[in-house]
């Protein structure tokens, strides 16, 4: 099947009334979640997983719903950045730079409309690229054996550690903690208990829901409780609406930002935050002739918003085609697929085309829905910002615990969630990044299985990991990535400065 006919098949899956309504529900919920502080797409997806199971959703429908939340949140996040000057997500820091000044000038409505259109352009163009690139990448990867997978995962970790936020040593520590955490429980190959310390509850290992909610929901609430961010909602503004000429003047910025966002989104570890920062910096260099950037320049708003959504969508490429997630949210979606006993990767496109292509088709539909939802209804979503903190955060905490209980039916897992949450809070204070830990946790099993498979073919000879040209290429790239900060310190510092905004 070529891409066009596969896509047509995908649309036949996505266009059933049931899947359409799920895409709409996901998109609307995602916008709301993106607008609200404290939840975020990672937690929302994990909390909805037990719901997908109890409703007995088929995997393609579940994925359509969850993906809708993912890219929907990219639309919602801009609302608080523009109106409150509070970025709800690290990828949105750059949106505040020109978005908030625009809102202060009374052009909040125009800024929201423009950023909505930017999100649409970035999202849709990237899905288009995804449509034509996913299969060729997957086809290359079909021939990958265990050695190639091991080296590819090491390359992903290397990219995370040098390109991502935080110090390299701290990222490696986070990766190791994620890998060790995933080893808790019974080892499949030998039946030996590892790191259980005789505890019966630990035999099954740490539940994916427990880890994610602890890492991201509980720790976030603790961080907010400590610092208590707040701000006054700037009025939507009665100022001029977005003019067509303004939109047209922003289109080149949007196209450039899509390119940057796509490229960085496909790489693991960089993600939306770096993409939007880089797009903003690049756009400033290209178009800042009258020194208007930072004072409410439309192009300075369009570029990061577009890049943010492009990168978000592009990070689906390695997850779908290789089975290796590069961002926190795609790691959670991979976890969701694994719970359905579906292994994403090169064979997904041929063996389960309804999942792969149904999802891709639904992303076209979802982006159109989001544009339609967001242009007229943005005032409604902005109203969500008025929910007081003392209702919002207790609600998120209560729902998180209820969700963990619903998924695991165990008191012990709830205690573990709290424990992980407190530990994650401490780690954030110490500048240990959490997302590499989650990615490592999800990939650990795959990594260890592949190492052991490769070495059992060669009967323990380590050279088996370096046996094919592709594997050697990945190892060399990984080594090169690790050496970047040593060989070109300025480049490394630059990237770090850009991604510093990611905080914890």
Partner 1 sequence: MKAGLLGDRITGSLFLLIGIGAIWHAWSLDVPFAADPVGPKAFPMVVGALLAIAGASILLRPDEIAWEVGDYGRVAVVAGASFFYPLALEFIGFVLATALLCFACGKAFRGPTIGTAIASVALSVTFLLLIDVMLGLPLPRGPLGI
Q: Does 173 bind partner 1 (CB under 8 A)?
A: yes
Residue 497, classified by CB atoms within 10 Å of its CB into exposed (0-12), middle (13-18) or buried (19+), is exposed
Q: In angstroms, rounded to a whole number, what is the distance separating the alpha carbons of residues 189 and 182?
A: 15
Q: How many CB atoms lie within 10 A of CB 322?
A: 24
Interface pick for partner 1 out of 380, 384, 399, 473 (rule CB under 8 A): 399
Piece of 177-185, 261-269, 310-318, 375-383 that binds partner 1 (CB under 8 A):
177-185
Binding residues for partner 1, how many (CB under 8 A)?
A: 66
Instruction: Tell me the three state secondary structure of residue 387.
Output: coil
Interface pick for partner 1 out of 340, 425, 441, 475 (rule CB under 8 A): 425
Q: In angstroms, rounded to a whole number, what is the distance separating the alpha carbons of residues 378 and 371?
A: 10
Q: In angstroms, rounded to a whole number, what is the distance separating the alpha carbons of residues 184 and 357?
A: 35
Interface pick for partner 1 out of 452, 466, 470, 484 (rule CB under 8 A): 452
- 109 vs 79, 251, 292, 355, CA distance in Å? 10, 19, 20, 37
Q: Does 67 bind partner 1 (CB under 8 A)?
A: no
Q: Are strands 185-186 and 193-194 parallel, antiparallel or unpaired?
A: antiparallel
Q: Does 194 bind partner 1 (CB under 8 A)?
A: yes
Q: Does 453 bind partner 1 (CB under 8 A)?
A: yes
Q: In angstroms, rounded to a whole number, what is the distance separating the alpha carbons of residues 305 and 302?
A: 5
Q: Does 391 bind partner 1 (CB under 8 A)?
A: yes
54 or 238: CB nearest partner 1: 54
Q: Does 45 bind partner 1 (CB under 8 A)?
A: no
Contact 303, 122 (CB under 8 A): no
Interface pick for partner 1 out of 103, 337, 432, 471 (rule CB under 8 A): 432
Q: Does 339 bind partner 1 (CB under 8 A)?
A: no
- Nearest distance, CB of residue 260 and partner 1, angstroms: 29
173 or 498: CB nearest partner 1: 173
The pair of three-digit structure tokens given for residue 407, joined into one six-digit string: 């998924």
Residue 173 has phi, psi (to 5 degrees) of: -60, -45
Interface pick for partner 1 out of 139, 143, 187, 493 (rule CB under 8 A): 187
103 or 427: CB nearest partner 1: 427
Instruction: Tell me the three state secondary structure of residue 193.
Output: strand
- Nearest distance, CB of residue 133 and partner 1, angstroms: 33
Q: Does 389 bind partner 1 (CB under 8 A)?
A: yes
Q: Does 169 bind partner 1 (CB under 8 A)?
A: yes
Piece of 69-77, 318-326, 341-349, 413-421 that binds partner 1 (CB under 8 A):
413-421
51 or 247: CB nearest partner 1: 51
Q: Residue 258 is inside which H or E element, if any?
A: helix 244-266
Q: In angstroms, rounded to a whole number, what is the distance separating the alpha carbons of residues 475 and 466?
A: 8
Place of tokens 């719970």: 339
79 or 221: CB nearest partner 1: 221
Secondary structure letter of residue 394 according to DSSP:
H
- Nearest distance, CB of residue 406 and partner 1, angstroms: 4
Secondary structure letter of residue 153 according to DSSP:
H
Residue 416, classified by CB atoms within 10 Å of its CB into exposed (0-12), middle (13-18) or buried (19+), is buried
Piece of 132-140, 353-361, 446-454, 481-489 that binds partner 1 (CB under 8 A):
446-454
DSSP symbols for 68-102 = HHHHHHHHHHHHHHHHHS--SSGGGHHHHHHHHHH
Interface pick for partner 1 out of 272, 397, 438, 478 (rule CB under 8 A): 397
- Nearest distance, CB of residue 500 and partner 1, angstroms: 10
Q: Does 177 bind partner 1 (CB under 8 A)?
A: yes
Q: In angstroms, rounded to a whole number, what is the distance separating the alpha carbons of residues 111 and 190?
A: 58
Instruction: Tell me the three state secondary structure of residue 352.
Output: coil
Q: In angstroms, rounded to a whole number, what is the distance separating the alpha carbons of residues 101 and 305?
A: 15
Q: Does 430 bind partner 1 (CB under 8 A)?
A: yes
Q: Does 268 bind partner 1 (CB under 8 A)?
A: no
Interface pick for partner 1 out of 405, 466, 470, 484 (rule CB under 8 A): 405
Chain positions contacting partner 1, by CB under 8 A: 50-51, 54-55, 167, 169-170, 172-173, 176-177, 179-180, 183, 187, 189-192, 194-195, 218, 221-222, 225-228, 388-391, 393-395, 397-399, 401-403, 405-406, 409, 411-412, 414-415, 417-418, 421-422, 425, 429-432, 447-448, 451-453, 455-456, 459-460
């Amino acid at each position: 099947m070529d891409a066009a006919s596969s896509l047509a098949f995908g649309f036949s899956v996505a266009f059933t009334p049931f899947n359409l309504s799920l895409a709409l529900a996901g998109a609307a919920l995602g916008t709301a979640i993106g607008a609200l502080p404290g939840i975020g797409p990672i937690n929302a997806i994990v909390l909805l997983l037990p719901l997908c199971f109890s409703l007995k959703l088929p995997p393609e429908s579940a994925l359509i719903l969850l993906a809708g939340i993912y890219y929907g949140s990219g639309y919602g996040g801009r609302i608080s950045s523009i109106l409150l000057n509070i970025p709800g997500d690290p990828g949105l820091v750059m949106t505040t730079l020109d978005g908030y000044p625009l809102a202060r000038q009374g052009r909040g409505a125009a800024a929201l409309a423009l950023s909505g259109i930017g999100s649409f352009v970035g999202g849709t163009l990237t899905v288009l690229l995804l449509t034509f690139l996913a299969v060729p990448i997957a086809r290359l990867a079909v021939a990958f054996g265990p050695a190639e997978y091991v080296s590819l995962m090491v390359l992903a970790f290397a990219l995370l550690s040098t390109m991502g936020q935080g110090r390299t040593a701290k990222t490696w520590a986070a990766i190791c903690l994620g890998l060790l955490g995933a080893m808790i429980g019974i080892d499949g190959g030998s039946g030996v208990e590892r790191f259980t310390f005789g505890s019966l509850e630990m035999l099954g290992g740490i539940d994916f829901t427990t880890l994610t909610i602890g890492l991201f929901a509980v720790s976030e609430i603790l961080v907010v409780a400590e610092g208590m961010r707040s701000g006054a909602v700037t009025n939507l503004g009665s100022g001029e609406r977005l003019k067509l000429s303004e939109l047209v003047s922003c289109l080149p910025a949007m196209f450039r930002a899509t390119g940057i966002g796509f490229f960085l989104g496909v790489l693991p570890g960089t993600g939306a935050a770096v993409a939007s920062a880089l797009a903003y910096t690049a756009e400033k260099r290209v178009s800042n002739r009258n020194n208007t950037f930072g004072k409410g320049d439309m192009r300075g708003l369009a570029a990061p918003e577009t890049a943010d959504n492009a990168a978000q969508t592009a990070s689906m490429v390695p997850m779908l085609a290789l089975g290796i997630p590069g961002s926190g949210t795609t790691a959670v979606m991979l976890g969701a697929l694994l719970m359905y006993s579906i292994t994403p990767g090169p064979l997904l496109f041929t063996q389960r085309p309804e999942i792969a292509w149904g999802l891709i088709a639904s992303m076209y539909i979802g982006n159109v829905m989001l544009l339609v939802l967001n242009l007229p209804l943005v005032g409604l979503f902005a109203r969500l910002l008025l929910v007081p903190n003392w209702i919002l955060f207790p609600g998120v905490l209560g729902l998180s615990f209820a969700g963990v209980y619903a998924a695991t039916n165990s008191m012990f897992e709830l205690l573990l969630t709290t424990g992980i949450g407190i530990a994650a809070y401490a780690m954030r204070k110490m500048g240990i990044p959490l997302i590499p830990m989650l990615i490592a946790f999800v990939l650990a099993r795959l990594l260890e299985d592949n190492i052991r498979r490769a070495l059992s073919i060669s009967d323990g000879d380590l050279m088996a990991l370096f046996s094919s040209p592709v594997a050697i290429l990945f190892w060399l790239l990984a080594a090169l990535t690790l050496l970047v900060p040593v060989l070109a310190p300025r480049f490394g510092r630059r990237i770090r400065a850009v991604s510093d905004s990611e905080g914890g």
